[in-house]
Amino acid sequence: GNSVTQMEGPVTLSEEAFLTINCTYTATGYPSLFWYVQYPGEGLQLLLKATKADDKGSNKGFEATYRKETTSFHLEKGSVQVSDSAVYFCALKTQTGGYQKVTFGIGTKLQVIP
Amino acid sequence: DSGVTQTPKHLITATGQRVTLRCSPRSGDLSVYWYQQSLDQGLQFLIHYYNGEERAKGNILERFSAQQFPDLHSELNLSSLELGDSALYFCASSVDSGVPNEQFFGPGTRLTVL
């Protein structure tokens, strides 16, 4: 079956530090890959996505590259801000015969301190 | 604002009771997904409806059921509630045009079972 493995948090960084949150996956077929962000007290929001190998998704300074050879989709940001403090979920979606299946990682909590 | 609405925002009830959670998808979205987010289990996919029909089932208990109505809103029914059912329940919608795309999440319903 499909699975998503994320690094466990919490991850605590100082403002302007470099961020990497690792995500690896196993899936049948050719999944689309997503990063969602959940700010405190809110629902999940799509942060970025990539639908095929070597695609790079980017948004709000975050980026992630779909690496088929290593089955990874690591999230990176060059300089984090306090406002980036949230929980980040890596997810994959596969579609077979019109049936979609979405699998999420456990989420990684990021805390950015001033 | 994702365009997905969920009611109620908070629900407090007792063990053994039954509750109904409601979700209205974004205008034009045919797919509705339900998720349960608990502290120890992370984000779990429950069920997916497309244009009124059940499309996929995840880790949904037999005590739980869902339906999608002709106007595309969806309801998640939770019965014989147990303490462990306390969680955030999210609804998400997508266009589901046949190619992988993102899901838009509602703000969630926080269920507390006492």
The distance of B49 to chain A (nearest Cα, Å) reads 10
Pairing mode of beta strands B10-13, B109-113: parallel
From the list B35, B103, B89, B23, the residue with the least C-alpha distance to A95 is B103
Q: In this complex, do A105 and B42 lie within 8 Å of one another by their Cβ atoms? A: yes
For the record, the structure tokens of B110 come out as 């926080």
Q: Which residue has 């959940």 as its token pair?
A: A38
The answer to whether the Cβ–Cβ distance between A99 and B107 falls below 8 Å is no
* pLDDT-derived band at B98, boundaries 50, 70, 90: very low
Q: How many helices (H) does chain B have, and how many strands (E)?
A: 0, 11
Length of chain A: 114
Q: What is the mean pLDDT of residues B34-61?
A: 86
Q: Are B26 and B3 spatial neighbours (Cβ–Cβ below 8 Å)? A: yes
Q: How far apart are CA B109 and CA B5, in angstroms?
A: 10
- Within 10 angstroms of residue B78's Cβ, the number of other Cβ atoms is 24
Residue B99 has pLDDT above 80, yes or no: no
3-class secondary-structure state, position B83: helix
pLDDT band for A14, please (50, 70, 90 cuts): very high
| SS3 category, B53 | strand
Residues A47-66 have pLDDT tens digits of 999 999 999 999 999 999 99
Q: Check if A92 contacts B (Cβ < 8 Å).
A: no
C-alpha count within 13 angstroms, C-beta hemisphere, residue A103: 17
Residues B15 and B74: their CA atoms lie apart, in Å, by: 24
- Inter-chain CB proximity B45 and A43 less than 8 Å: no
pLDDT of residue B55: 85
| Confidence check: pLDDT of A73 > 90 | yes
* Distance between CA atoms of residues A66 and B56, nearest Å: 26
pLDDT at position A97 is 66
Q: Distance between CA B61 and CA A99 in Å, rounded?
A: 20
Q: Which residues of A touch B33 (CB under 8 A)?
A: 102
